[in-house]
Amino acid sequence: MDDIYFPGMEQTQPDASASMEGMYFPGMAPAQADEGQQGWSGFVDKASRISQQRGFPTNVLLGQAAIESGRGSAAPGNNYFGIKGSGTGGSNNLATKEYGAGGYYGENSDFAAYEKPEDAINAYIDLVTSYPGVPEAIKSGDTLAVLQAIKNAGYATSPTYVNDVSNTPEFRGQYGSN
């Protein structure tokens, strides 16, 4: 623990009996471990079930989550989708990379935090199905058209968004934990 520094906190000698387990840091939703499943494979199971129940293409949802969260390795506040704003667990102000007229640039933005992964999954589906063209693309069964409609609506700024997501193993139907 002596390599970990939190701004505004005094550095002290590490306590050999100290553990990070159960600690809560302001601005971050606590980790959830429901149904005994953790990590990416647990998220994939939940996401697959919910997307199928809601009629949303599982491969689009999982491809997006894989890109945005590094397969769950970077999902503060259970935000697997890079959704900005506020969620059931508030929000986190985080550094991000966006693309604009001058190319890529960095900025800080408020990203939604969720009490549990299921909240994030439902919020993502609610958000993107509210975009023009997405419901029609879903009905067509063309998942590349779904990605393009999501991009056209402004969800992603990267010019390579459709290609990036469609090239993930998750988009190609390989939903395993690796």
Query: Between these two residues, 78 and 25, which has the higher pLDDT value?
Result: 78
The pLDDT tens digits of the residues spanning 59-77 come to 999 999 999 999 999 899 9
Instruction: Tell me how far CA of residue 76 lies from CA of 18, 145, 159, 163, 165, in angstroms.
Output: 23, 29, 25, 25, 20
List the domain boundaries for the chain: 39-166
Q: Which CATH architecture has domain 39-166?
A: Orthogonal Bundle (1.10)
Can you give the C-alpha Rg of the chain in angstroms? 18
Q: What is the pLDDT of residues 122-144, one digit of tens each?
A: 999 999 999 999 999 999 999 99
Q: Which residue has the higher pLDDT, 45 or 35?
A: 45
**Mean of pLDDT over the chain:** 80
Query: What is the reported pTM?
Result: 0.74
